[in-house]
Chain A
Amino acid sequence: AQKVTQAQTEISVVEKEDVTLDCVYETRDTTYYLFWYKQPPSGELVFLIRRNSFDEQNEISGRYSWNFQKSTSSFNFTITASQVVDSAVYFCALSEGYNQGGKLIFGQGTELSVKP
């Protein structure tokens, strides 16, 4: 069965610190997609990144970077020089693929608090 585990329930850092959010997934599919979403205090879900199972290249977007490692079934998210505006709940999610309806399986989320 597919599963996503975000073992860190809450993380608190001081502004400008680097922080890594962990995500471990389980799937028997050879084709799948991994996602990160951000949920700020206002409540909406903001898409951050999608990665397919064939692309293990790391991705960097500004202060955000993602490390995908199939060997350890992990898709970790790092924020460099964190800012107060990064305070949010972050969700990692797994999709089984679109021949199965593209359903997302979410982790429980990691609540990040960045203090000034």
Chain B
Amino acid sequence: NAGVTQTPKFRVLKTGQSMTLLCAQDMNHEYMYWYRQDPGMGLRLIHYSVGEGTTAKGEVPDGYNVSRLKKQNFLLGLESAAPSQTSVYFCASSSQLAGKETQYFGPGTRLLVL
């Protein structure tokens, strides 16, 4: 039982390049989330999904797209990377069952955009 995993762990991009971050969970959770963490700002929600095939915008969605084609996977895409997207990205998942709503986080992906 690996919990929440993220690929890759670290990536360097040039401005304008694209990439996809992969999040996978093996806990059969319905809800999945992408956050970014910047110094002094805590974590901010980018996009989230309440089930396979559904996604919604969070607090800071601009410049990102997401897809949830399978229940266990949640992809975060950057179509044209910008230096402002240099950050640490965390994926999380949670159950929707009452009493089990805690979000569990992956180890993070460190992204540097030059």
Query: What is A's interface to B at a CB cutoff of 8 Å?
Result: 4, 9, 33, 35, 37, 43-45, 47, 50, 91, 93, 95, 98, 101-109
CA distance A37 to B43 in the complex (A): 11
How many residue pairs at the A-B interface have CB separations less than 8 Å? 59
B35: chain A residues at CB < 8 Å are 104, 106
Give the Cβ gap from A64 to chain B, nearest Cβ, in Å: 16
The distance in angstroms between the C-alpha atoms of A43 and B105, with both chains bound, is 11
B40 and chain A: residue at smallest CB distance: A108
Q: Pick the contact of B44: A102, A106, A109 (CB < 8 A).
A: A106
Residue B42 lies at the interface, judged by CB distance under 8 Å to chain A: yes
Q: Which of B42, B96, B101, B102 contacts A106 (CB 8 A)?
A: B42
**Given contacts A45-B90, A47-B102, is CB(A104)–CB(B107) below 8 Å?**
no
Contacting residues of chain B (81-114) with chain A, CB-CB under 8 angstroms: 88, 90, 92, 94, 96, 101-105, 107-108
